[in-house]
Amino acid sequence: MNFQSLVSIITNHDNHDNHENLPARLMSFRRAFHSLHFQIFKFPHFQINIMIISFVVAASENNAIGKNNELLWRLPNDTKFFKNITWAMPCIMGRKTFESLGKALNGRKNIVITRQDDWKADGAIVVKNIQDALKAAEGTDSKEVFVIGGAQIYKEMLPMANKIYITRVHASFNDADAFFPEINTNEWKLTSNQDFPIDDKHAYEYSFQVWERK
Ligand SMILES: NC(=O)c1ccc[n+]([C@@H]2O[C@H](COP(=O)([O-])OP(=O)(O)OC[C@H]3O[C@@H](n4cnc5c(N)ncnc54)[C@H](OP(=O)(O)O)[C@@H]3O)[C@@H](O)[C@H]2O)c1
């Protein structure tokens, strides 16, 4: 991606262009801009705060992530990984995921999305839609925001994501009721993979993977 292609995304008005495809164009712009932002940061007077949108999820081989509003496994190393990577960062989640956690995550800015007018939670910023969630995250000094679930929020926000930290649990859970969307390898590339075996604290093999948008 170079400046010329970025400019073409902004200025490309063809005959078929209308307001309906504006969100898609804005997302292409955001992605293009993101790929340029490290270059732009070399020139401090051009610096603009564009956040990296990262997903964090643990999903089985069949993309199961939960059942009855609970997780399907206990993997202490994954819990530690989640805490380390999200610590001090803004975390966006759906109302059901917040309720499954039981309370706000400490040491992090909890941003909860709900359509309910009067829903409140101690220690959380409550917003009515995804745009307001991103605005709340951008109001921090953070350069990265973590989307921590659940299934509905992952599905809705996947087109905006730049990076996916996924703990792939090497098992299948056919009775799950919450699933992560399939990672499309035409759009995403695996940039890191670390495998871990079963041990006395982990009932399943698992891999810490990082996927980045191509
Ligand atoms: N394995 C993992 O890494 C992981 C991570 C997180 C969660 N989980 C699991 O995922 C499951 C929960 O996922 P879920 O899909 O049922 O729920 P969710 O995505 O956590 O929350 C869904 C709720 O978010 C609100 N919402 C969603 N889209 C919205 C929008 N565009 N605008 C405004 N509000 C919106 C709605 O709240 P209202 O109904 O209040 O309007 C909706 O009911 C649980 O089983 C949990 O354990 C697993």
Quote the number of domains for the chain: 2
Q: Are residues 140 and 34 in the same domain?
A: no
How many Å lie between the centroid of ligand 1 and the Cα of residue 96? 5
pLDDT classification of 47: cutoffs 50, 70, 90: very low
State mean pLDDT over 184-208.
98
Q: Are residues 62 and 135 in the same domain?
A: yes
Q: Which two three-digit tokens encode residue 54?
A: 């990262």
What is the pLDDT of the chain when averaged over all its residues?
85
Between 14 and 208, the higher pLDDT residue: 208
Between 17 and 86, the higher pLDDT residue: 86
Q: Are residues 92 and 196 in the same domain?
A: yes
| The most confident of 36-45, 56-65, 138-147, by mean pLDDT | 56-65
Contact 193, 211 (CB under 8 A): no
Q: Are residues 31 and 111 in the same domain?
A: no
Q: Are residues 63 and 34 in the same domain?
A: no
- Return the percentage of the chain with pLDDT > 90, whole number: 75
Q: How many CB atoms lie within 10 A of CB 111?
A: 26
State mean pLDDT over 170-187.
98
124-147 as b/e: b if 16+ CB within 10 A: bbbbeeeeebbebbeeeebeebbb
Q: Which two three-digit tokens encode residue 109?
A: 């800015």
Q: Are residues 37 and 56 in the same domain?
A: no
C-beta 99 within 6 A of ligand 1: no
State mean pLDDT over 63-72.
98
Q: Are residues 71 and 91 in the same domain?
A: yes
How many Å lie between the centroid of ligand 1 and the Cα of residue 98? 8
Q: Which domain holds residue 158?
A: 52-213
Please give the Cα distance from 90 to 156 (Å, whole number): 18
> 120-153, pLDDT tens digit by residue?
999 999 999 999 999 999 998 899 999 999 999 9
In three-state secondary structure terms, 147 is strand
C-beta 193 within 6 A of ligand 1: no
**Which CATH number do you get for residue 121?**
3.40.430.10
Entry pTM: 0.83
Q: Are residues 175 and 105 in the same domain?
A: yes
Q: Are residues 84 and 23 in the same domain?
A: no
C-beta 114 within 6 A of ligand 1: yes
**Alpha-carbon distances of 174 from 20, 65, 67, rounded to whole Å:** 37, 11, 10
Q: Are residues 119 and 151 in the same domain?
A: yes
pLDDT of residue 50: 79
